[in-house]
Every structure is written in structure tokens, then in C-alpha cells.
Amino acid sequence: MSLTIGVDIGGTKIAIGVITESGEILRREHISSPANDRTKMLAAVIAGINRLRAENDVTAIGISAAGLINRERDQIMFSPNVDLTGSAIKSEVELATGLPVLLENDANSAAWGEYKHGAGVGYSNIVLLTIGTGLGCGIVIDDKLLIGGYGMAAEAGHMVIKPDGQLCGCGQRGCLEQYASGQALTRSARTFVASGSPGADTLFRSCGGDVTLLTGQMVTAAALNGDPASIAILADAGKWLGYGMAAVAAMLDPEIFIVGGGGGDAGDLILDPARTAFEQRLAAKDHRPMAKIVSAKLGNDAGMVGVADLARL
């Protein structure tokens, strides 16, 4: 049985696990992520790997991190949330452990995890969209992870869906991420609560009357409890998500869209509006099979499980 270690570096915590070929997590650790200090972060990652290696015979290590990674997969070119921009974490961990290390973007890792062991099992062409603060994306086409010519493929969150629309963190305007993400839910909810509408009572109470404290998670939680305003906000995000999926389908023709992240927890409250909008906007919709739109299965483990598998390849 070949075991590998998957490391998923997030903004607030790092997940490290020993993973089997069938995607089972034999052992795992969560350590807090010193996100603003790469030296401490690297030391914490290496210490965690060494603890797990001491008890399990592992053959390789996969490291998943948010950001843009070069085509050679050995450098993080841009990491907006964690102090890893320009970091050579791959070679440093290889040097410290003597094991081969594979570095991959977090959404790509999660897409591979869902493809191998989650909602994408049985399909050769999948698109994962993760609704977190932003909108992450990973793509498997013809059973291969899509990397791109410069390593930066699968940024569906930054497809311009509304010309001259909302300003995005990437420097452009009107990106899909600005309409279908945690940020988008938060912005819609804050605007609605600030309007003073009686329909905003539930959200107003959720944030204790301070709109600056409103989050996308509060919107999802209120919607799941039946709050009509929150359901409408999620439906609007779902609609934009569906428009984005139609654009992706025109280009890539996936068999299935898998929706994960915190926004994915809303399930059909976001997926049903996405399905409707997708069908409305899909090119030649009456003459082709309709891709499925489903929830992710592996939750927060998708990146760790996926990158551990990629490391084995």
C-alpha cells in the first residue's frame, strides 16, 4: 500500500494528512498557520510532516497552496493571503525531508480530489467551483488536470461576466467572482440591510445591527433557516454562477460541475438557480446533453486528499 502525505496550506490553518491510494485519511493534523511568516510556516509544515512520517512509511509529499504557481510547479508566483509569494517551498521541503514534493494550487488540488475520490468519480471531464471568500476553480479534462501554458489555467472566477462591472481584487472589472462568491453574498447582504427594509430583519439581527460584521456564512445560515431575503441573495449568486458555467461549458464541455466551499453548503438554494441560469445561457442548449451541477463531497479535505494523490503520480 503506497502512502503519501498531503499538506493543505490555508490562510488560518494547515491540514496535513497521511493518505492511502483509495483516498482514505489514515492520520491527520491541523496546525495553525503563521500566515504572515514564511519561515515559521515552513518550519511548522516540516515538523508536521516529520511527525507523520515517523509512524507511516510515505513515498512522496503533495503541498497545496492558494495562489498562482509557475508551469514548472516549483515556485509560487503570487499568493495573496499567505506569505508565500516567490517562495521555493517545494525545494525547501524536499531538502528537509529527502522526499519528492509536488506543489499544486489549492483549487486544482481540490478538483483532483473530487475527480479521484469525490463527486467526480466516474467522469473524465469535471469543473470544480469553490465558493469561499472568492471563487476558486479547478478543471480536469480528458482525465488530466488542466495546468495551462504558464501554469495559471482554471481561473473561472476571473472570467469577465459583466463588462465594466464591480472592481475585482485581480485588477479587472466585472469578474464572475464579484457576483458569485462569499464577497458577493456579503456585499449584497450589507447593501440590503443598510437599505432599512423590514425584510432585512433576520440579517440585521444576525450581525447584531452592525452591517460591517455581516458575512457570506451568515447569509447561508439564514437562508437555510428559511429567511426569504437571504434565499433571494443566494439565488442571485446562483444565477451568476450558472451564467459562468454556461461560458465554461461553451469552451470546455464538462460532464459535471461540482460546487464546493462554504457557499456550496447552501446546496440547492444556490444550485437550483445555477441550473436554471445555466440552461438559459448554454449555447445550442436544445441539441446537446446538459452537464450535471452537484455539490462537492470531500468538503475541506478535497485539497489535502487531491494533492496527496497528485504526488503519487
| CB 161, min distance to Zn ion, A | 10
- By beta-carbon proximity to Zn ion, the closer residue of 31 and 152 is 152
For residue 168, state whether it binds Zn ion (rule: CB under 5 A).
yes
| CB 157, min distance to Zn ion, A | 6
Residue 198: burial class (beta carbons within 10 Å; 0-12, 13-18, 19+): exposed
Interacting span for Zn ion (CB under 5 A) from 2-10, 174-182, 190-198, 281-289: 174-182
In DSSP terms, 130 is beta-bridged to 136, 260
Interacting span for Zn ion (CB under 5 A) from 62-70, 172-180, 256-264, 265-273: 172-180
What amino acid is encoded at 223 in this protein?
A: A
CA 3 to chain centre: 24
| 8 Å CB contact between 238 and 271 | yes
How far apart CA 239 and CA 260 sit, in angstroms, is 16
- By beta-carbon proximity to Zn ion, the closer residue of 56 and 85 is 85
| CB 77, min distance to Zn ion, A | 16
For residue 176, state whether it binds Zn ion (rule: CB under 5 A).
no
- All three cell numbers of 146, joined, read 488542466
- By beta-carbon proximity to Zn ion, the closer residue of 100 and 169 is 169
- By beta-carbon proximity to Zn ion, the closer residue of 174 and 306 is 174
How far apart CA 211 and CA 259 sit, in angstroms, is 27
**Binding positions for Zn ion, 99-158, rule CB under 5 A:** 158
How far apart CA 131 and CA 182 sit, in angstroms, is 6
- All three cell numbers of 28, joined, read 491527520
What amino acid is encoded at 297 in this protein?
A: K
For residue 170, state whether it binds Zn ion (rule: CB under 5 A).
yes
Q: Which of 89, 101, 175, 185 binds Zn ion (CB under 5 A)?
A: 175
For residue 237, state whether it binds Zn ion (rule: CB under 5 A).
no
**Count of positions on this chain that bind Zn ion (CB under 5 A):** 5
For residue 77, state whether it binds Zn ion (rule: CB under 5 A).
no
**Binding positions for Zn ion, 79-98, rule CB under 5 A:** none
| 8 Å CB contact between 137 and 130 | yes
| CB 168, min distance to Zn ion, A | 3
| CB 185, min distance to Zn ion, A | 17
**Core vs surface per residue 218-232: b (16+ CB within 10 A) or e:** bbbbbbeeebebbbe
> What is the CB neighbour count within 10 angstroms for residue 286?
5
| CB 151, min distance to Zn ion, A | 18
**Binding-site ranges for Zn ion (CB under 5 A):** 158, 168, 170, 172, 175
